A and B are shown apart, each in its own frame.
Chain A
Amino acid sequence: DTAVSQTPKYLVTQMGNDKSIKCEQNLGHDTMYWYKQDSKKFLKIMFSYNNKELIINETVPNRFSPKSPDKAHLNLHINSLELGDSAVYFCASSQGGVAYNEQFFGPGTRLTVL
């Protein structure tokens, strides 16, 4: 049983296109996150949502728009894709705050922009 799942696993697209990555968690958590891992393996938080409300928005270009239709889903839509958007995007979830509650990560979506 997959706790945090992401689709697609791989995404190859041309510059300028719009694409979405979907994330679902079946753990009953109330908080979900998106992270970006660049080619040097550096992992940085992009967004977090708690009960469908945006909590953290880390200086991410407004071409990136997260959407949380319900507590179990947090999708990431990216407009006008650029070469620098190529990375692995990880979704994660936790119950409440980070410190006392483990974050569970999805398997990642490798986005390649050509």
Chain B
Amino acid sequence: AQSVTQLDSQVPVFEEAPVELRCNYSSSVSVYLFWYVQYPNQGLQLLLKYLSGSTLVESINGFEAEFNKSQTSFHLRKPSVHISDTAEYFCAVDDNTDKLIFGTGTRLQVFP
């Protein structure tokens, strides 16, 4: 069965520092990959997704993720974080079953 691993449950970082949130998935078949963000006491919002084409995808607020098929990874990065980026980040995969399989989440805590 498909699974998603987010290796870091918490990532503390200072404001304006770079950050990487790691995500690995198990499937060797073609997959669609997603990052969702959950701000405190809110539902999830789509941050970015990879469906096909360029392996580097970007969001409107400065995050980017790179699909690496050989390493079955989809790590999320931002070169300079803001306090407002503090949230829970979820990696998810759809292996053509129309279901999103989520990782366990990474809490990004940005300190001033």
Contacts of B88 in A (CB 8 A): 41
Pair A55/B98 contact, Cβ less than 8 Å: yes
Measured between alpha carbons, how far is A108 from B100 in the docked complex, in Å?
17
Measured between alpha carbons, how far is A92 from B98 in the docked complex, in Å?
13
- Least CB separation from B92: chain A residue: A43
Contact of A44 among B51, B102, B107 (CB under 8 A): B102
Pair B43/A56 contact, Cβ less than 8 Å: no
Q: How many A-B residue pairs have CB under 8 A?
A: 54
Pair A106/B99 contact, Cβ less than 8 Å: no
Pair B94/A98 contact, Cβ less than 8 Å: yes
Check A105/B99 contact, CB under 8 A, given A40-B104, A42-B105, A100-B51.
Answer: no
Measured between alpha carbons, how far is A98 from B96 in the docked complex, in Å?
9
A-side interface mostly: loop
CB distance from B109 to the nearest CB of A (A): 14
CB distance from A114 to the nearest CB of B (A): 21
Whether a CB of chain A sits under 8 angstroms from the CB of B71 is no
Whether a CB of chain A sits under 8 angstroms from the CB of B84 is no
Contacts of A15 in B (CB 8 A): none
Measured between alpha carbons, how far is A106 from B31 in the docked complex, in Å?
25
Pair B46/A97 contact, Cβ less than 8 Å: no
CB distance from A55 to the nearest CB of B (A): 7
Measured between alpha carbons, how far is A48 from B97 in the docked complex, in Å?
12
B35-76 CB contact bits vs A (8 Å, 1 = yes)? 000000111111001010000000000000000000000000
- Least CB separation from A9: chain B residue: B41
Interface residues, chain A, CB within 8 Å of chain B?
4, 40-45, 48, 55-56, 58, 90, 92, 97-100, 102-103, 105-108
Among all A-B residue pairs, the 5 with the closest Cβ atoms: A105-B43, A99-B32, A43-B102, A105-B44, A41-B105
